[in-house]
């Protein structure tokens, strides 16, 4: 399905726009559903496609990204596709080396240690030169989807990327990265600004390539408290939404809905509701009613089933989904997990989740 011979324009007509309608706050017949990490290692066909390839080499192959993005849609009636890529392609575009170490995860060969290390980063990034492979993957996938469902593009948010660049990989405390916020606030802002500028161009480029919605992942928000988030995360999250929208207008590109997912940032939900995003994604640690009360009626919510609920028997998954839909309401809502799928999950249980969302939301809407 993924041949590279199509032109970027003249995309196929969209057949199922439920996800986009929900994101914009319009009525939907059923609640749309997709899953973070839906193109992932829980699928045997994913493991087979990825088997011999280096992870980031896969990210740089538009054909493979297209294939991996389409795999979950062949199995499940999901309402959206999300391009297969990784948030760490942005630090790579800044000139940092990241390798995927089996059993350990992404690892930076030379993380940022001193403020002087910022000088090693590219200060001006041509996103088409550095990240054009993602744009190609998006264009190819948008054609190959044949209008089945919308395609979501994404990026990591500045603080989350900064934390990886300083920690050199995953961390339970983020102590090295957070120490920069306390010891080197000016340098931290310089780095965050540099990241935000690249992310803005990168997201606009994804829309130009064919992305129909954008999600910003502030995956490490939970390591910040309200004050640090207010100073070092929120201003950039706001600025990205504002700048992306103004550039899309300038370039006469579609104004696509934007989603902010700041994991574990309950303390900031009110601020995130006013940060300029059409959708606020939620992790599983907040009650739907509380989130709705804080975020209000003018923003769509997305989430928030505990991913581990998918280990439950299928009937139990159905009950949990029904309860979640009753709590959120079926409108101005996109069903999802509160984080990504895990590699050892049973694909049939993912299918049960997706089908339960459709069946229960249709039933609730009728009655």
3-class SS letters over the chain: CCCCCCCCCCCCCCCCCHHHHHHCCCCCCCCCECCCCCCCCCCHHHHHHHCCCCHHHHHCCHHHHHHHHHHHHHHCCCCCEECCCCCCHHHHHCCCCEEEECCCEEEECCCCCCHHHHHHCCCCCCHHHHHHHHHHHHHHHHHHCCCCCCEEEEEECHHHHHHHHHHCCCCCCCHHHHHHHHHCHHHHHHHHHHHHHHHHHHHHHHHHHCCCEEEEEECCHHHCCHHHHHHHCHHHHHHHHHHHHHHHHHCCCCCCCEEEEECCCHHHHHHHHCCCCCEEECCCCCCHHHHHHHHCCCCEEEEEECHHHHHCCHHHHHHHHHHHHHHHCCCCEEEEECCCCCCCCCHHHHHHHHHHHHHHHHHHHHC
Look-up of token digits 């069946």: 359
Annotated catalytic residues are 37, 41, 50, 86, 164
- What is the number of alpha carbons within 13 Å of residue 211 lying toward its C-beta? 29
């Amino acid at each position: 399905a993924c041949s590279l011979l199509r032109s970027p324009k003249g995309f196929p007509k969209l057949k199922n726009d439920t996800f986009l309608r929900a994101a914009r706050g319009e009525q939907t017949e059923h609640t749309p559903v997709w899953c973070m990490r839906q193109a992932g290692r829980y699928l045997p066909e994913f493991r087979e496609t990825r088997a011999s390839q280096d992870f980031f080499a896969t990210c740089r192959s538009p054909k493979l990204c297209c294939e991996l993005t389409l795999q979950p849609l062949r199995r499940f009636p999901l309402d959206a596709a999300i391009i297969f890529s990784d948030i760490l392609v942005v630090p790579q575009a800044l000139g940092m080396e990241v390798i995927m170490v089996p059993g350990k995860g992404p690892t930076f060969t030379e993380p940022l240690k001193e403020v002087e290390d910022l000088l090693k980063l590219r200060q001006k990034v041509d996103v088409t030169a550095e990240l054009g492979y993602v744009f190609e993957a998006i264009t190819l996938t948008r054609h190959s989807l044949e209008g089945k469902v919308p395609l979501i593009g994404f990026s990591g948010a500045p603080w989350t990327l900064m934390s990886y660049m300083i920690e050199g990989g995953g961390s339970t405390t983020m102590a090295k990265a957070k120490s920069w916020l306390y010891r080197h606030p000016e340098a931290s802002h310089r780095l965050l600004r540099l990241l935000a500028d690249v992310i803005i161009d990168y997201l606009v480029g994804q829309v130009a390539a064919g992305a129909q919605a954008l999600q910003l992942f502030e995956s490490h928000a939970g390591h910040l408290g309200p004050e640090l988030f207010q100073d070092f995360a929120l201003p950039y999250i706001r600025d990205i939404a504002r700048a992306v929208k103004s550039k899309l207008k300038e370039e006469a590109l579609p104004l696509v809905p934007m989603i902010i997912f700041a994991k574990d940032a309950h303390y900031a939900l009110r601020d995130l509701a006013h940060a300029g995003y059409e959708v606020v994604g939620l992790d599983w640690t907040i009650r739907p009613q509380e989130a709705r009360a804080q975020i209000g009626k003018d923003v769509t919510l997305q989430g928030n089933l505990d991913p581990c609920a998918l280990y439950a028997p299928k009937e139990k998954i159905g009950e949990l989904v029904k309860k979640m839909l009753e709590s959120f309401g079926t409108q101005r809502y996109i069903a999802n997990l509160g984080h990504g799928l895990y590699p050892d999950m049973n694909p049939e249980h993912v299918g049960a989740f997706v089908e339960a969302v459709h069946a229960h939301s249709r039933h609730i809407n009728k009655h």
